[in-house]
């Protein structure tokens, strides 16, 4: 199992990586600095939106799950999912990324 980096550091690294790649990244909601789970709201522009939730794979390695389904959805559906998730876990981070190609900025495979 990989050591778990503090959430704040993971988010800061992704914001910096986005800047070096000219990919807009915004921390829409600041969660728990140490152990908050991250939700990614990815704006694929004219394609639609994806929401990915931070998880672990079967070996305990960092991974991401498409929680809004395999196909991009309208922004209203992405926002509705995030609102429901925040009711369950107020320590969540929400990171918005604007990238048609949805290039990875965080470690882990997409399951």
**Cβ within 8 Å of residue 13, ≥6 positions away:** none
Query: What does pTM read for this prediction?
Result: 0.93
Domain ranges across the chain: 7-110
In a 13 Å sphere around the CA of 107, the CA atoms on its Cβ side amount to 14
Res 2: pLDDT: 52
Res 5: pLDDT: 86
Res 3: pLDDT: 63
- The yes/no answer on whether domain 7-110 falls in CATH 3.40.1530.20 is yes
Res 18: pLDDT: 97
Estimate to the nearest angstrom the gap between the alpha carbon of 53 and the chain centroid: 6
DSSP code for 79: H
Mean pLDDT computed over 69-94: 97
């Amino acid at each position: 199992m990989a050591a778990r980096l503090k959430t704040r550091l993971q988010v800061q690294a992704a914001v910096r990586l986005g800047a070096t790649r000219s990919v807009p990244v915004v921390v829409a909601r600041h969660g728990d600095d140490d152990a908050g789970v991250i939700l990614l709201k990815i704006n694929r522009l004219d394609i639609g939106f994806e929401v990915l939730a931070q998880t672990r794979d079967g070996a305990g390695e960092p991974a991401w799950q498409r929680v809004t389904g395999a196909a991009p959805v309208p922004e209203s559906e992405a926002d509705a999912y995030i609102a429901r998730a925040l009711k369950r876990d107020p320590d969540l981070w929400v990171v918005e990324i604007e990238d048609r190609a949805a290039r990875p900025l965080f470690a882990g495979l997409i399951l």
